Amino acid sequence: DVKVTQSSRYLVKRTGEKVFLECVQDMDHENMFWYRQDPGLGLRLIYFSYDVKMKEKGDIPEGYSVSREKKERFSLILESASTNQTSMYLCASRETTGLNTEAFFGQGTRLTVV
Amino acid sequence: QQQVKQSPQSLIVQKGGISIINCAYENTAFDYFPWYQQFPGKGPALLIAIRPDVSEKKEGRFTISFNKSAKQFSLHIMDSQPGDSATYFCAASLSGSGYSTLTFGKGTMLLVSP
């Protein structure tokens, strides 16, 4: 059974803290993604990675960075957490070969910044 | 700029009725159109997907209708059941690229009343 695992279901952090969200996939996928989900705004792409140590900005990268040191692991970093980063964060992975490939999502991390 | 517009934002349907969710896209280069289903507390999961070389795809009670000239596609859920109550996201993607990303609509919250 394919799996994308996010390290935390719920996180509460203080404003200004450095926050790490971890994601691991066991499908040997090249592509990995970080989205944030907010009511009425849907899923918005923060960053994605198509290979180890490679990253690309998505639609809303400001205030975030990412790290991909190993193929199976993709980390989202909030350098200095702010209250407007309170959200649900979703990690996904996707195969690159083939034309129409399914994206597999983790269960999400609900982050609250106080 | 929102590349995939989804409507309605929310939908209430009686058990046994037909649920219809619509999406419109702008980029004519998109060639893969999936629908994702998300239950509370879970990540989205692929429900059904279509490519623009066909006008309809059916899987059980779920059907995608695709209108290439109008740049629109829709999800029909026949004989809607309370277990179908979830948030539905349409998406669009470019294939043929090593790192194609999925662009999502804002989502539709479906409630099927018993």
Cβ(A60)–Cβ(A78) below 8 Å: no
Cβ(A6)–Cβ(A92) below 8 Å: no
pLDDT tens-digit series, residues A11-62: 999 999 999 999 999 999 889 999 999 998 999 999 999 889 899 999 999 9
Give the Cα separation of B95 and B101 in Å (integer): 9
* CB pair distance less than 8 Å for A105 and B45: yes
Contacts of A99 in chain B (CB under 8 A): 31-32, 51, 95-96
pLDDT of residue B21: 98
> What does DSSP assign to residue A83?
G
pLDDT of residue B100: 74
Give the Cα separation of B111 and B95 in Å (integer): 33
* CB pair distance less than 8 Å for B46 and A102: yes
* CB pair distance less than 8 Å for A42 and B107: yes
* CB pair distance less than 8 Å for A106 and B43: yes
> What does DSSP assign to residue B32?
B
pLDDT tens-digit series, residues B54-79: 999 999 999 999 999 999 999 999 99
Say yes or no: A42 contacts chain B, CB-CB below 8 A: yes
- List the beta strands (DSSP E) in chain B: 4-7, 10-14, 19-25, 33-38, 45-50, 56-59, 62-67, 72-77, 86-93, 102-104, 108-113
pLDDT tens-digit series, residues A61-79: 999 999 999 999 999 999 9
Q: How confident is the model at residue A98 (pLDDT cuts 50, 70, 90)?
A: low
